[in-house]
Amino acid sequence: MGNMSEIFELGRDALQGIENRLGMSRRDYLQFCATLAVTMGLPKGADAAVAKAIESAKRPSVIWLHFQECTGCSESLLRAEHPTLEKLILDVISLDYHETLMAAAGHQAEAARKDAMKANKGKYVLVVEGAIPVKDNGIYCKIGGTKAIDLVKECAADAAAVIAIGSCASWGGMPSSGGNPTGASSVADVLGKPVVTIPGCPPNPYNFLATVVHFLTFGKLPEVDKLGRPKFAYSRLIHEHCERRAHFDAGRFAMEFGDAGHRQGYCLYKLGCKGPETYANCSTIGFGDAGENNWPVGCGHPCIGCTEQGVGFTKPIHQLAKVINIYPPQQYPRIVEENGKGASFASAAALAALAGAAAGGAAMLARNLGRSHAAEEAAQASAKPAAVDQTGA
């Protein structure tokens, strides 16, 4: 943890207040603030600022719209089996309108949205989940009799910030695949201006929470890339932080689901893993607080590139990924790590982040890959999994 003395400037009363308010121990609270600060890539000591902001800031009013989507974004955020995060989110923000969570319905719900927008004019945060259909004058999605395309514009007009959560709202996502029959479009395209995007299907809840807490702590949204994605979460390829990366570099691949390589946790590149062309932090922060390895590749499934426009829901699932950066890292995360023990994903990723490009590394890697593929394929052909080349030589 960064700066304990600053955090304890919060005082015992404030910490006691937090304990009562959030129903979590002060130790868990401070740990949570440190996690958020690390997720945001903030410098040492920033956890103190985060802790103070959450403790003292007025919860920002959030209007949350749903359009073409599956509600997986909300579901991943609330994770009903982990009430702590749910409680935290609902305590950090004032969720004044959310169609699937609010008790109100029909005219009452509409009135709640309008009241919140009026009372917090220019100050509320608009979160949009789902794509917006624009084909045929936007007729394919209506809420309370209003077309999605009109509702999003109405709600964005007086918002202090607009956040597109999930790939659907960020770039069209799944509804825009397969010929895009409804003209499913992103929030930015419909509003005609950039917005913060948190892509992923679903996105990682910590990336959303960290974005909101950044807004609370510093009064502004975090730095974003040209696609509106917070840099703290989307500036690295999944492949750069993957715990199977050492296998990739050594040329050890699962060739089919359930084979010897797959069972030994080899790289999933040959099964179509899109980690080499997908920007996200799934491999470093995991999902669901259910322990380490809890992300698609960690569970044995290739990344489908769900955050990435042009990859997720677009490229065939077993098509080989374009390897954007093939330089091998100088240091590797451990290959085999029992759950809950040893280095965390985050620390392994921090090591991987130190990686630089070794001169000639790409050529050596290509050479090794070619060699090991040949050996591996020969082993597969003779149906002797034990003969798979594990040396990469």
Q: Which of 280, 297, 287 is nearest to 243 (CA)?
A: 297
Considering only residues 269, 279, 313, 345, which one is a binding residue for ligand SF4 as defined by CB under 6 A?
Answer: 269
Q: Which of 132, 114, 248, 105 is nearest to 190 (CA)?
A: 132
Q: Which of ligand FSX, ligand F3S, ligand SF4, none does 307 bind, CB closer than 5 to 8 A by kind? A: ligand F3S
Please report, in angstroms and rounded to a whole number, the separation of the first and last CA atoms in the chain: 42
What number of other Cβ atoms are within 10 A of residue 279's Cβ? 22
Work out whether 215 is an interface residue with ligand SF4 (CB under 6 A): no
In single-letter form, the type of residue at position 65 comes to L
Q: Which of residues 23-82 bind ligand SF4 (CB under 6 A)?
A: none
Q: Which of ligand F3S, ligand SF4, ligand FSX, none does 69 bind, CB closer than 5 to 8 A by kind? A: ligand FSX
Work out whether 307 is an interface residue with ligand F3S (CB under 6 A): yes
Is 119 or 290 the residue whose CB approaches ligand FSX more closely?
290
Q: Which of 201, 153, 197 is nearest to 177 (CA)?
A: 201
Q: How many residues bind ligand F3S (CB under 6 A)?
A: 13
Q: Which residue has the tokens 């280095």?
A: 343
Is 74 or 307 the residue whose CB approaches ligand SF4 more closely?
307
The contact pattern for ligand SF4, residues 142-161, with x = CB under 6 A and - = no contact, is --------------------
Q: Which residue has the tokens 């600060």?
A: 37
- In the DSSP assignment, the letter for residue 230 is B
56 phi/psi in degrees, rounded to 5:
-105, -25
Is 307 or 390 the residue whose CB approaches ligand F3S more closely?
307
Considering only residues 117, 174, 273, 348, which one is a binding residue for ligand SF4 as defined by CB under 6 A?
Answer: 273
Q: Which residues, including other chains, have CB under 8 Å from residue 60's CB and lie 6 or more apart?
A: 93, 94, 120, 123, 124, 125, 160, 212, 215, 216
Site residues for ligand SF4 per CB under 6 A: 238-239, 242, 244-245, 248, 267-269, 273, 275-276, 297, 303
Q: Interface with ligand FSX by CB under 6 A: which residues?
A: 69-73, 129-130, 166-169, 173-174, 201-202
